[in-house]
A and B are shown apart, each in its own frame.
Chain A
């Protein structure tokens, strides 16, 4: 139980660092002087000190939606697979619930975007709704095939099973599921080919457009939510597609897990540096690829058993 709580705290604490790390890595690759890894925390404290300005056009939704964006993600952190062997993990939650909770958070984010009556908010919501509608099938199909390979749909149990029994005989469909999930990780977290969180250019904005009217604490909450979302996806990827390291004792296992997270973050950073932001109508190319791979993974498993 102690280990379980430690895991949760670790994941929440490491979330801003991971995003700062991605940014720093990108800056290094661009031959710039990198920002500090603590930048996420600095931004957070700065935002907390600021006065919160609420747009006059908004309604009660703006007052409550930010909390509802964050809370499903915080709840999800409690349901992630264990990172140390023998630690407690939640067994009564399965992958559909996790996707559902993430959709819940996105739903409120989109509502929030429409509340401020600005054209940007609507634009962001519209784009986000398009992206998340395409992400959903790929996500569900990927989850389906992973859970078939792990012999369990519960995420926690699936993580443990995959470590105990690596799906050697289903390598092909496992690989396809992995590719699909990586694309989803990039798309859902607003990384570069899909969205660019660093600019505020109206042509490219998706996530930022929805929260343009927020300041202060509300903005801090949304920023925290997006960093936690990244850590959820990264940790799911680490547990489901890099299943090893659970058998070591607690400190080593923690270190291995954190290393895995940083490897994923590095991969994302390298991917971001090497691709250009896609036009909104080109995004289906990428997500279509994810859907095709997810479908392929399921079909390969079903029909060929490979």
Chain B
């Protein structure tokens, strides 16, 4: 019923490490919530169900806990209902998570041969006998990645995560997404081994697109929690890239590089859990004090909330992969694993998709810097942009403790990376991979070597030490020289510095929005109070811009339209004259027999085309009939 192998235990550790600071934070956050009992119940059920998912040993238990996890997080979103948007977000989440559940269920029904209590190890035999392993793979990634938020199934994430109370959204973004990735690891290793090359390439492309799309929408966002949720999508993309590289290397029989990439993916999973939880907690504290999620209403919070500001800065540095933070280390490992592909022999699709992935990853890290400079700078620096921000004070002790604990966890990932990596290495050794720890650190834990041929070396501790040393020396010199300082108004080119002359978040991302306008398709509204009919002279102007995600518009809206059309036809079918019903049964029977023949007997595209033509003809002639 339950298993406690190394993979499970690592994820148990992940969940516990994520929940512990969160629990303290949540206790501090509790006075802010009206329905306390409701919230507490679902909060603990959520944590417990996540633990249940990662230790379950058969499909039934897995699906049970999976469903509880989905439902409890859905209820958490509904804790504070503020108008229609929350309900809409919750409904969307409910729909998407069950969309994934259907595919997961299909996957399990096939691989367990109907016996849902079969353990994962014995599923491999059934899966290997199944004629279309790629179908299983697609069921699996549809089921799991709709939870993890990969393109194009990511659309619910920026709505659902911000709608929950902040501790819960920290858990959802930081931990729940990783549980979905646990599923990917577990089933790919235990059930669907070996992997064809195409799976890895597919995942690589999905990962690259996910990371780019995620960060681009994060850049354009001005709701701070939605910004963080979009950035979660980006990080899932990065993890998927590492994961896909691992799969590709495994297929190409490069065992060490494969383990290296998987370890990188796991490392990034842990890192992202740390900093995303912390960022959501920081955002939650700001939200708690200012009662708004709109980034344009913040500003100048660093003086009133110093602890929150500095932990947020630390997490922002880590998530933008700046050295010597842990985010940099994992991104370094991912880049290195891609560099290891340089000696891959001639497979043109790999040779083309890997440079694309490198480009996507590099672009992502560049845009991430811009995004988090915006998130930190507009929120905490400058002058107060609203009265709410003016009256904000530091949050209570419990919330601070939660954030600081989380920051300490990130710092430990940075300083004690080798110990964590040994732990991650053990996971893959237990899954039957070759150990790479000795190759990662051949001469002491100070220098981490890449496993790719002629790869690089990074030494986080030396880097950290030298940065601290140099900065310290500079600061010391500043103190020693005893520079005269004066606080005064600095000259702002004749303008008076006031809150409303500052750059806004919309302004900050204005250049990006214009450059990527083909993606954002921004809807702009300008209202001007012109003076005496002059176009260029105005006393008051307001500019609002709204970005609707392209995927939502193109993919989901068209799916909606398609559903309408289909439902119209279903309606028509229900209102036919009775003579048509035998015709429908006739067609249905034909369809079933034909499909069975194609899928069970001989699969080829020609027969499918023939079948579809036959079916269309039969539907047209027998059911719809002549137009009157």
Contacts and interface: CB of A to CB of B under 8 A. Distances in A.
A123 B366 CA distance: 18
Given A71-B470, A136-B362, A302-B355, A96 B456 contact: yes
B156 interface: no
B366 A134 contact: yes
B317 to A, nearest CB: 7
A92 B373 contact: no
A94 B456 contact: yes
A129 to B, nearest CB: 4
B503 A93 contact: no
Contact of A137 (B366, B490, B514): B366
Interface in B479-511: 481, 483-490, 492-493, 495, 497, 499, 501-504, 507-511
A125 B463 CA distance: 26
A232 interface: no
Interface string A46-80: 00000111111101110010011011101100100
B459 A100 contact: no
Given A119-B495, A141-B355, A94 B458 contact: yes
A67 to B, nearest CB: 5
B339 interface: yes
A59 B483 contact: no
A130 B433 CA distance: 42
A190 B383 CA distance: 28
A144 interface: yes
A156 B487 CA distance: 44
A151 B454 contact: yes
B381 A117 contact: yes
B417 to A, nearest CB: 14
A266 interface: no
Contacts of A139: 362
Contacts of B474: 67, 70-71, 221
B362 A75 contact: no
B404 interface: no
B322 A122 contact: no
Contacts of A122: 377, 382, 502-504, 507-508
Interface in B507-539: 507-512, 514-515
Contacts of A291: 359
B349 to A, nearest CB: 11
Interface residues of A, number: 82
Interface residues of B, number: 84
Interface string B447-476: 100100011111100110011001100110
A154 interface: yes
A141 B369 contact: no
Contacts of B492: 118-120, 212-213
B292 interface: no
Interface in A102-136: 103-104, 106-107, 110-111, 113-123, 125-127, 129-130, 132-136
Nearest to A150: B454
A133 B512 contact: yes
Nearest to B316: A107
B358 interface: yes
A61 B458 contact: no
Interface in B305-336: 306, 313, 317, 320-323, 328, 332, 335-336
B176 interface: no
B490 A295 contact: no
Nearest to A138: B362
A284 B508 CA distance: 17
6 contacts: A55-B487, A60-B306, A92-B457, A103-B322, A111-B313, A136-B369
Ranked 7 nearest A-B pairs via Cβ: A122-B503, A94-B456, A136-B366, A114-B377, A153-B456, A129-B370, A140-B362
Interface of A: 51-57, 59-61, 64, 67-68, 70-72, 74-75, 78, 91-97, 100-101, 103-104, 106-107, 110-111, 113-123, 125-127, 129-130, 132-137, 139-141, 144, 147-148, 151-154, 202, 212-213, 215-217, 221, 280-281, 284, 291, 295, 298-299, 302-303
Interface of B: 300, 302-303, 306, 313, 317, 320-323, 328, 332, 335-336, 339, 342, 348, 351-352, 354-355, 358-359, 361-363, 365-367, 369-370, 373-374, 376-378, 380-383, 446-447, 450, 454-459, 462-463, 466-467, 470-471, 474-475, 478, 481, 483-490, 492-493, 495, 497, 499, 501-504, 507-512, 514-515
Given A51-B484, A118-B501, 18 more contacts: A55-B497, A67-B475, A75-B470, A96-B458, A97-B323, A100-B321, A103-B365, A104-B322, A117-B502, A118-B495, A129-B369, A129-B373, A130-B370, A132-B370, A133-B369, A136-B363, A154-B456, A221-B474
